C-alpha cells in the first residue's frame, strides 16, 4: 500500500494550515470534517427526543470505530467521559485477595491515573511505584522485576504522558500473564500514533481517549478495550443503564451487557461522540503505521537539527522507545513556549521535560525549520 500524501492532507486540518502546530500530544489539530460533523450535531439539537435514535446510532458507530482501531470486537469496547473514568470502572471491579493485593504502576504514569491507583490503598491494595532509572525511558526491566504472584494489577502507560517514551510492552505483559496479574495499559498518548492490536498485545485492558492523536475536537470521550473473558468474569461496581443487557427495556433490575459494554454507566456526551468520528476515521484511512512512519521522518529531522544546535533530548532517541513527541532541553522552557506561540508556533512544556513538540504527520519540514530557526535563542 502506498503511503498517504500527508503534506496534501494538511489542508484538511485548519489548525495546521494556520499555525506551525506541534502540540498534538496536548490537543490534536481539528479536521474540517469534524467541524462539519459538529454542524450536523447542532442541527439535531432542536429535534430533542426525535434525535435520540440518531444519537444512539452514532454512539454505536463510534464504539465500532474504536474497536477497528485496536482490532477488538465492538462488544469489547466501553465508552466513558474520560480516561480516568475508564480506569476507575475497571479498578472498582477488581478486589484485593489475600496474598494478591499489589498494584504495580510507574512514576512516569499520568498524574490522574496515579492518583486513582494510589487511592486503591484505602480498599486494601498495596501500591508499588516503579521508577525509571534515568527518568526518561519506561522502566521495562524494573517493571518485570516487580511482577510476581503478589501482584493483582499492572497499571502502566503504553506511552508516557510527559515525554512520549514508549513502553516495550511485551516483556511486561508476559511477566504479568505468567504471574496471573491483570494488565491495564493507558494508551491515551499512543492511540492514533502507535499501532495498537489488542490481540497481538495481549493486554487485558487498554484505555484511550480522543482529543490528542485521534483529533477529537471536544473533551469528554474515552474508551476502554476490556478482554471479553475478563469483562465477563467481573461485575461492575457502579453500573448504569448504558451497561444493561437490554438498555431500552428499562428493566428495574440490572443485568450486565455482554462484554465490556457492561462497564458503561449513563448517557455519554453526544457532542463529544460527533466530535470524535472524523479523527478516528482519519487514523483508520491513513493507517496508524503510516502516520507513525511520517511522524518519525519529521522528528528525526527535528532531532538532527537539535543535535546540530547542541540541544539535548529529554526522551528516548531510538524509534522503538518513543512515540510522537520530541522533548528538547532548552533554556527557560516556559518562556520559550510562550514566545514561540506569539510567533505562530505551538509547543508546550511540563515539569522537567524542556519543551515538548509533537510531530504530526501533516506537519511540514518547513514547520520544523521554523522551530529550529527560533530555537537558537534558547540554547
Ligand atoms: C497518558 C494519559 N492518560 C490520560 C490522559 C487524560 O486523562 P483524562 O481523559 O482522564 O483526562 C492523558 C492526557 O490528558 C494522558 O496523557
Instruction: Please tell me whether residues 229 and 336 are part of one structural domain.
Output: no
Instruction: Please tell me whether residues 17 and 95 are part of one structural domain.
Output: no
Instruction: Please tell me whether residues 195 and 276 are part of one structural domain.
Output: yes
Which residue out of 192, 193, 209 has the highest number of ligand 1 atoms within 8 Å of its CB and is therefore the one to mutate?
209
214 lines ligand 1 (CB under 6 A): no
Residue 1: inside a domain: no
**What sign for the dihedral angle of Cα 299, 300, 303, 304?**
negative
Instruction: Please tell me whether residues 12 and 39 are part of one structural domain.
Output: no
Q: How far is the CA of 264 from the centre of ligand 1 (A)?
A: 18
Q: Give the count of domains, the chain.
A: 2
Instruction: Please tell me whether residues 77 and 13 are part of one structural domain.
Output: no
d(CA 158, CA 133): 17
295 lines ligand 1 (CB under 6 A): no
213 lines ligand 1 (CB under 6 A): no
Ligand 1 atom, smallest distance to 187 CA = 1
Mention every residue, 6+ apart, whose C-beta is less than 8 A from residue 183. 153, 154, 156, 172, 173, 176, 177, 203, 204, 205
210 lines ligand 1 (CB under 6 A): no
Could you tell me the pLDDT band of residue 164, with boundaries at 50, 70 and 90? Answer: very high
Instruction: Please tell me whether residues 16 and 108 are part of one structural domain.
Output: no
Instruction: Please tell me whether residues 78 and 150 are part of one structural domain.
Output: yes
Using one digit for the tens of pLDDT, what is the confidence trace for 167-187?
A: 999 999 999 999 999 999 999
37 lines ligand 1 (CB under 6 A): no
Instruction: Please tell me whether residues 277 and 298 are part of one structural domain.
Output: no
**Contact assessment for residue 274 and residue 38, using Cβ atoms and an 8 Å cutoff:** yes
Residue 340: inside a domain: yes
Residue 187: inside a domain: yes
| Structural domain ending residue among the three candidates 249, 283, 317 | 283
Query: What pLDDT is recorded for position 315?
Result: 97
Residue 29: inside a domain: no
Name the average pLDDT for the chain.
97
| Structural domain ending residue among the three candidates 283, 312, 343 | 283
Instruction: Please tell me whether residues 170 and 274 are part of one structural domain.
Output: yes
Q: Residue 1 pLDDT more than 80?
A: no
**Contact assessment for residue 176 and residue 182, using Cβ atoms and an 8 Å cutoff:** yes
Pull the grid cell for residue 236.
461492575
Report the CATH number that the domain containing residue 343 is assigned in CATH: 3.90.1150.10
20 lines ligand 1 (CB under 6 A): no
Instruction: Please tell me whether residues 93 and 207 are part of one structural domain.
Output: yes
Average confidence (pLDDT) over 106-114:
98
Q: Residue 2 pLDDT more than 90?
A: no
**Closest residue by CA, ligand 1 atom 6:** 83
CA 155 from centre of chain: 14
| Structural domain ending residue among the three candidates 283, 302, 324 | 283
Instruction: Please tell me whether residues 61 and 167 are part of one structural domain.
Output: yes
Strands annotated E in 187-336:
205-209, 222-226, 325-328
Query: What pLDDT is recorded for position 67?
Result: 98
Instruction: Please tell me whether residues 90 and 190 are part of one structural domain.
Output: yes
Q: Residue 30 pLDDT more than 80?
A: yes
Q: How far is the CA of 76 from the centre of ligand 1 (A)?
A: 21
Q: Residue 65 pLDDT more than 90?
A: yes
Query: What pLDDT is recorded for position 130?
Result: 98
pTM metric for this prediction: 0.98
Residue 27: inside a domain: no
161 lines ligand 1 (CB under 6 A): yes
Residue 28: inside a domain: no
Average confidence (pLDDT) over 50-67:
98
Domain that includes residue 195, residue range: 35-283
Report the CATH number that the domain containing residue 194 is assigned in CATH: 3.40.640.10
Amino acid at each position: 500500500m502506498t503511503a498517504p500524501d500527508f503534506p496534501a492532507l494538511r489542508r484538511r486540518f485548519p489548525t495546521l494550515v494556520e499555525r506551525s502546530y506541534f502540540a498534538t500530544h496536548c490537543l490534536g489539530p481539528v479536521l474540517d470534517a469534524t467541524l462539519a460533523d459538529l454542524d450536523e450535531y447542532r442541527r439535531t439539537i432542536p429535534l430533542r427526543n426525535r434525535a435520540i435514535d440518531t444519537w444512539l446510532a452514532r454512539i454505536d458507530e463510534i464504539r465500532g470505530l474504536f474497536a477497528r482501531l485496536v482490532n477488538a470486537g465492538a462488544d469489547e469496547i466501553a465508552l466513558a467521559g474520560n480516561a480516568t473514568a475508564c480506569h476507575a470502572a475497571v479498578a472498582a471491579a477488581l478486589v484485593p485477595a489475600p496474598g494478591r493485593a499489589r498494584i504495580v504502576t510507574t512514576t512516569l504514569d499520568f498524574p490522574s491515573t496515579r492518583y486513582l491507583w494510589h487511592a486503591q490503598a484505602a480498599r486494601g491494595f498495596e501500591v508499588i511505584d516503579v521508577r525509571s532509572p534515568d527518568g526518561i525511558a519506561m522502566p521495562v526491566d524494573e517493571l518485570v522485576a516487580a511482577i510476581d504472584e503478589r501482584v493483582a494489577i499492572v497499571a502502566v502507560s503504553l506511552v508516557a504522558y510527559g515525554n512520549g517514551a514508549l513502553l516495550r510492552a511485551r516483556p511486561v505483559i508476559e511477566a504479568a500473564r505468567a504471574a496471573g496479574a491483570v494488565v491495564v495499559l493507558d494508551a491515551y498518548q499512543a492511540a492514533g500514533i502507535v499501532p495498537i492490536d489488542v490481540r497481538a498485545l495481549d493486554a487485558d485492558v487498554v484505555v484511550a481517549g480522543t482529543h490528542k492523536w485521534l483529533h477529537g475536537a471536544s473533551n469528554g470521550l474515552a474508551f476502554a478495550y476490556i478482554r471479553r473473558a475478563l469483562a465477563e468474569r467481573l461485575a461492575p461496581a457502579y453500573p448504569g443503564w448504558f451497561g444493561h443487557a437490554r438498555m431500552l427495556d428499562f428493566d428495574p433490575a440490572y443485568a450486565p451487557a455482554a462484554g465490556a459494554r457492561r462497564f458503561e454507566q449513563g448517557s455519554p456526551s453526544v457532542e463529544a461522540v460527533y466530535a470524535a468520528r472524523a479523527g478516528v476515521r482519519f487514523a483508520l484511512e491513513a493507517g496508524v503505521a503510516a502516520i507513525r512512519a511520517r511522524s518519525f521522518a519529521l522528528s528525526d529531522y527535528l532531532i538532527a537539527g537539535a543535535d546540530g544546535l547542541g540541544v539535548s533530548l529529554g526522551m528516548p532517541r531510538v524509534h522503538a522507545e518513543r512515540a510522537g513527541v520530541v522533548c528538547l532541553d532548552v533554556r527557560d522552557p516556559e518562556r520559550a513556549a510562550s514566545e514561540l506561540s506569539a510567533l505562530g508556533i505551538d509547543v508546550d512544556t511540563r515539569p522537567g521535560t524542556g519543551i515538548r513538540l509533537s510531530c504530526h504527520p501533516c506537519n511540514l519540514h518547513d514547520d520544523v525549520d521554523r522551530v529550529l530557526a527560533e530555537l537558537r535563542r534558547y540554547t
